[in-house]
Structure 1
Amino acid sequence: MNSLEATRVVAVLDEAVDGCRLLSHLTKEVLGNAEHLVDIVGEHVAELLLAHRRAVTAADILGSVSTEELRHSALDLWRALRKLPSAEAGLRSLKGERPAANLQAIAALEKLRHIAYKKLTTTVEEDNSNREHFEEVCRREKKAMKEKLTLEQQLRLDRRERLNQSTMLANAHQKATTELEETKMQASQQKATLEEQASATRDADHAYYASRETQLHQQLDSLKSSYDKLKHDNKEAEAALRKKKAKIDQQVEVWIGKYDEELGAKEQEYQEELSLHRQVTQQLQEIGAEYDRLVGERVTHEEQLAKAAAEKKRADAAARRQAKAATLIQKQWREHKAKKEAEKKKAAAEEKGKKGKKK
């Protein structure tokens, strides 16, 4: 591929990037207010925006984004915006939020253009430079391999030295083990001496505690005598208290009889009050049942009213949608009719001109 072809390829990519950048300013807000942008983008661009909006609406209705009318309207807008930098500046001044998908497409195309430009503009000198760089990398790799072998030899020497050090440590461990055995023998001898001393101390303690036990037995006998005396005295006091308790029990029985007489009179009054309470409770239950019935009827009536209001609201919404749809259809029909009449007038004018030339 020569330089002219490479330039053409890069120019095509530049036009694609420029087209995506220009069309990315055509947000939903811009298309929705196209008829109000005459002062900003000019009358011609505003008419193209309206045509593009109609094409987008038709494509949405058909469920397709690749209709012929949509492609033509997009190309017409692109050409008009390229010819009128002021119109592009006007759209940019609106500062609307452009779709993220368009921005990603622009970034991808710019990256593709950069890669293609780099690939297409690479010279022979740059290829030679890349080859020299590869040879330099190979040379450095060989040098690194030699250094690796040197380091492995040094590692083997270090391992040998570490082995000698571990041998010395093993000898030191053996010496420490011998010293430990000697220390254990000395500890055994000291243990035997301490056991003899402990045995003598234990015999002395046994003799002391035997004499102390004899003294405690004597004190226990004395305390038992005191306990028997207290027990005898407590029996006499208990007999006197039992007589007093029997007398109090008789008095309690007398008071219980009086209480039963008074309680019988109160029981009759209680039964009368209970009968009256039951009558009042029955009346309250009847009133509550009537109240529940009335509440149920009211809830049913309110539900019927709410259902009727919801039906009326849905009917009003449907009527508004139909009115809006009828208005939109009438608007589209008027535009279509005006376009047809303009085409008929133009065709009649052309036919009249042709007849005039023939004459």
Structure 2
Amino acid sequence: MNTLLPLPPIGTPVATRHAAAGARSASTIHGSEMSNISVVGSAIDESLTGKLINVEAQRIMSVLQEAQKKVAVIGLLPDEVDRRVATMFNSDTVALIGEHKLLETKYKTLVEGRAPESEIKETAKLVRTSTRAVCRHFLQNPAFMGKLRYLKSTKQANHVQFENLLQEVKVLVYERLKTSVEEEKAKQDQLSVIIAKEQKTSNEVRLLKEELDKAKRERTTEVSKRNEIIRRLKEELRDIKQQAEDTTKRLESRSKQKEDQELQIAKDKELAMKDEIKRSTEELRDTVKKNREEEAILRKKKFKVESEVENWIHKYDQDMDEKQAELEDITAIYNEEKAQLDELQARYGELQKEYEKIMEERRIAQEERIAQEKKLRHMHECATKIQALYRGWKFRKEMAKKKSGKATAQKGKKKGK
């Protein structure tokens, strides 16, 4: 046996998928608009079921349409049973509506008061039974539906949202049922690819998060180390400052002592300098007097020297005039002798050419003479060699004759014996 789940409390807003549906549900819908919506909804239902070929798909769409009609009936129920309701409906209908409203109020109270779960489940079961009875009663009497639309001019926002959501579900189911097996398989394959990409992306995100956590830990460790280094450096800086202050105090003390000593030395030097200035002033006065006397003597010497220099200059001018005249005479003689020298150089050039020509002829004659002597010497040597060869040949010939004569004589002697 299936476990019955508790229904959501009446008046609780239902989430929608689109902002347009939510915006429309936030406003109130009047009776004329609701009638138009019902007409349009019926036309859409016919268009949705008319294109389906499969019987099972048509049955599913019929179930959704029936559920949509029941939701519309529940949304049109009046908020309370008053005189208008009692006037427009009979006693059975009024009692049915009143009982349903009481059960809704009880269920809402139990849920808000956090009553025991068993009591909430029992009340939810009664609410579902009452809802089925109310829907069956009004759907079997179409005239009552018109009265409901006339009686309740507005719907609650949660009912409008739920109706929009149910309409959206019906459209989605229709699209799913209308899709063929091949298209569904293609969509499933595409969805598998998307899921695989999503898993890959999730793994990458996880790895990046791990790397980020690792980097954060390393960063924290590094910051801790740096903070420790900064703390240690601050302590060292504080120690250095303290040492610097102590050193500064010692230096100031030493500087003050040295300053006092130098001030005393400066005072002593000042007194000594004053004495020196006094003595130097007296020496300066004596020196000025002495220099003035020397200046007078030097002025006399200067006048004497200037007179002598002037005499020497006058004498120099006379000597220079004489030397200039002598230089002009020498220049004239030089020009004349230079002209003669140019003429002699021209003649020397001609003689030099003739000399070179004669020397060239002598050189050629000398070379010819040497060549003839060399040729004659060569001929003499050749004649000497020829004579020597001839003499040698002649000597060998005579010797050969002598040998042949001796041999003939010896043969004759042998024959005589």
TM-score by length of 2: 0.29
**Larger Rg computed on CA atoms:** 2
TM-score by length of 1: 0.33
- Larger helix proportion of the pair: 1
